[in-house]
Amino acid sequence: MTDLTGRVAVVSGAGRGIGRAHALHLARLGAAVVVNDIGVGVNGAETAENPASDVVAEISRAGGRATASTDSVATADGGGAIVDLALREYGRLDIVIHNAGIIGAGPVATQPWEDIEAVMAVHLHGAYHLIRAAWPTMAAANFGRIVLTSSGAIFGHPLAHAYAAAKAGIIGLTKSLALEAEAAGIDIKINALAPIGATRMARDEQKSRWGELMDPDAVSAVAAYLASPQCRVSGEAFHGGGGHVSRIVLGIGRGWAKGEPGITAGDIATHLTEVMDLRGLAIPKTTNEMTDFLYQVATGRSATLSGAEIIPTEARGAKAES
């Protein structure tokens, strides 16, 4: 069993839904938890509720340790205050789970810009604010586990373009910071989690179709693993929920290479089926691995020389539009 006794965690957006489940799950495993939530609706509108204190009371009644925070991750001062609270109350910080989020949808040409900025501020900037505040402490202790919430929206979400863009940004941030920690030789593991659960943000159709599989606590088991010393992977993204866990990857196909300069738009139209083919998909860990792979393919060299992970499947390419 995963044991987090003695560990200290910050969980943002922990007053309800999946964030609440994360906080309760970590507390059951022995961690002291800073429960952060500013108590707003899914659209970012203020409410009069104080969900962070409610979750703290729930943890305390079960014999755990928790402290409420109502600072906003959307500002650098807020992110710093959340981390400072953890250090002041518990003297250390081992785990950061950034789960806070709002969703705003609308046509790209007419959605108010301030709504788009608000979504980015909570999801993507919020991740930065927490990580920048926590990183020095984790680096000094040579231990840290960071879990950033992404979403299936990275595959496209009609009208929720800002949300999708922010969640895609989380993936790039995760991968880049994992490389930074590795290069520095410090044991900070950072991964992204795209959850599915019965929350205020989930669509009614999802809740009806998935039923009890949408229990947010099923997602929290994945978060708990990623937040534990047992977790040895970093820079990865995972789907979690419904009793299912899977890896999400960014890959690049072998494509089509002319073998000489002077490629034309007509060449691409002619060879689009080959361009779209995903057989021999490469999963680069770094930008350099990506460019090495592409160079080797473009010059006719063996793509296995690249450090990128190669998936040797007979994957069917996407259907090309003529």
Residues with a catalytic annotation lie at 163
pLDDT, mean of residues 48-66? 93
- pLDDT greater than 90 at residue 315: no
Write down the residue that tokens 């650098």 correspond to.
76
- Write phi, then psi, for 239 (nearest 5 degrees): -85, 145
**Chain centre to alpha carbon of residue 46:** 25
Which range, of 26-40, 64-78, 198-212, 306-320, averages the lowest pLDDT? 198-212
- Write phi, then psi, for 34 (nearest 5 degrees): -90, 110
Give the pLDDT confidence of 153-201 residue by residue, as tens digits.
Answer: 999 999 999 999 999 999 999 999 999 999 999 999 999 999 986 555 5
Query: At CA 248, angle to CA 144 and CA 103, rounded to 5?
Result: 80
- pLDDT greater than 60 at residue 320: no
Question: For position 313, what pLDDT does the model report?
Answer: 59
Q: Could you tell me the CA-to-CA distances from 72 to 79, 99, 287 in Å, in that order?
A: 7, 12, 33
- Beta carbons of 25 and 31 less than 8 angstroms apart: no
- Beta carbons of 193 and 19 less than 8 angstroms apart: no
Q: Rounded mean pLDDT of the chain?
A: 90
**Residue 11 DSSP SS3:** strand
Write down the residue that tokens 């039923």 correspond to.
211
pLDDT, mean of residues 199-207? 53
Q: Which residues contact 49 (CB under 8 A, 6 or more apart)?
A: 15, 39
Q: Cα(12)–Cα(238) distance, rounded to whole angstroms?
A: 19
pLDDT, mean of residues 120-146? 99
pLDDT, mean of residues 22-47? 86
% pLDDT > 70, the chain = 88
Q: Could you tell me the CA-to-CA distances from 86 to 38, 67, 137, 166, 242 in Å, in that order?
A: 16, 8, 11, 26, 31
Q: Which helix (H) or strand (E) holds 145?
A: strand 144-149
- Beta carbons of 252 and 280 less than 8 angstroms apart: no
**Residue 233 DSSP SS3:** coil
Give the pLDDT confidence of 212-250 residue by residue, as tens digits.
Answer: 667 888 899 999 999 999 999 999 999 998 888 999 999
Looking at this protein, which amino acid is placed at residue 100?
A
pLDDT, mean of residues 267-274? 97
Give the pLDDT confidence of 293-311 residue by residue, as tens digits.
Answer: 998 888 877 655 567 898 8
- Beta carbons of 35 and 23 less than 8 angstroms apart: yes
**Chain centre to alpha carbon of residue 95:** 14
Tell which residue, 237, 201, 206, 200, has the closest CA to residue 222. Answer: 237
Q: Cα(218)–Cα(99) distance, rounded to whole angstroms?
A: 15
**How many CA atoms are closer than 13 Å to the CA of 131, on its beta-carbon side?**
24
pLDDT grade for 317, boundaries at 50, 70 and 90: very low
Question: For position 41, what pLDDT does the model report?
Answer: 65
DSSP character string of 54-116? HHHHHHHHTT--EEEE---TTSHHHHHHHHHHHHHHHS---EEEE---------TTTS-HHHH
Q: Which residues contact 83 (CB under 8 A, 6 or more apart)?
A: 10, 93, 130, 133, 134, 137
pLDDT grade for 47, boundaries at 50, 70 and 90: low
- pLDDT greater than 50 at residue 322: no
List of domains in the chain? 8-248 (3.40.50.720), 250-322 (no CATH)
Question: For position 269, what pLDDT does the model report?
Answer: 98
